[in-house]
Amino acid sequence: MFELTGKVAVVTGAGSGIGEAIATLFGKQGAHVAVLDLDEAAAAAVVEKIRGAGGQAEAWSVDVSSAVRVKTVFGEIVERLNRVDILVNNAGIPGVGDILKTTEEDFDRVYRVNVKGVYLCAQQGVEIMLKQGGGVILNMASIASHVGLPDRFTYSMSKGAVLTMTLSIATDYVKRGIRCNCLAPARIHTPFVDGYLAKNYPGREKEMFDKLSQTQPIGRMGRPEEVAYLALYLCSDEAAFVTGQSYPIDGGFLSQ
């Protein structure tokens, strides 16, 4: 079960954190993984990790907010790997502050990556998948797609857009062999979290980490690997009947 042998999987933002966990797991399960990240060195390191475990992977440096670069990279992926069976739109950036603290530049920066980036990659993915007879798209939303979070105006705006883009793609292409779902994680312990705490709470990292962990009723943050396991299911043939859904993975957060 959950084998991806013979499939080509494209994962954006795969140089670290959740994206790295998804790319690594997909490679372990037999997919030929296209590792996309803005950080070329990070993407190359993940490729080496996948290959070192016996998998197949290639790296591309890409700014997902650049239409020209995205189109070029997807063209190179098809030229080199022949197809795209799975697309995981994971690349994203944070946004902190309420609407009054949000500048136009802040808004545009988050929008370009978290919304326009998903649009551009999904557009290329859909075009390719229609030509080959189908495929799977998985977008990274958030619990912020479902509930209001304090001081997360731009981030919540962007993840709400990811949710509704997911529903739209699923509806438009359900009869043409393309499934589209999204994940809605709560706090996941990634290198970003550690960097955020070090920058904003120097000397209080452990205190704040514990406080953030308790936000989830289960009493801890999630692990990237746990998100990757759910991503694997949704992108596998075992989930062939699943489309147009948002899957919370939140340690009970939305049950409160």
Assess whether 247 carries a catalytic annotation: no
- Residue at 193: amino acid letter: V
13: CB partners within 8 A, 6+ apart: 19, 36, 37, 38, 64, 90, 91, 92, 140
Task: Write the DSSP assignment of 70-88 as a string of letters.
Answer: HHHHHHHHHHHHS--SEEE
- What are residue 150's phi and psi, to 5 degrees? -65, 140
Report the C-alpha gap between 82 and 129 in whole angstroms: 11
Please give the pLDDT value at position 209. 95
- Give me 212's structure tokens: 């953030």
Please give the pLDDT value at position 240. 98
Sign of the Cα pseudo-torsion (141, 142, 148, 149, in order): negative
Active-site entry in 155, 173, 233, 247? 155
255: CB partners within 8 A, 6+ apart: 217
Report the C-alpha gap between 75 and 161 in whole angstroms: 26
Please give the pLDDT value at position 192. 84
Please give the pLDDT value at position 195. 87
Parts of the chain with a pLDDT under 50: none
**pLDDT per position as a tens digit, 217-245:** 999 999 999 999 999 999 999 999 999 99
Identify the structural domains of the chain with CATH numbers, from first to last.
8-186+223-255 (3.40.50.720), 188-221 (no CATH)
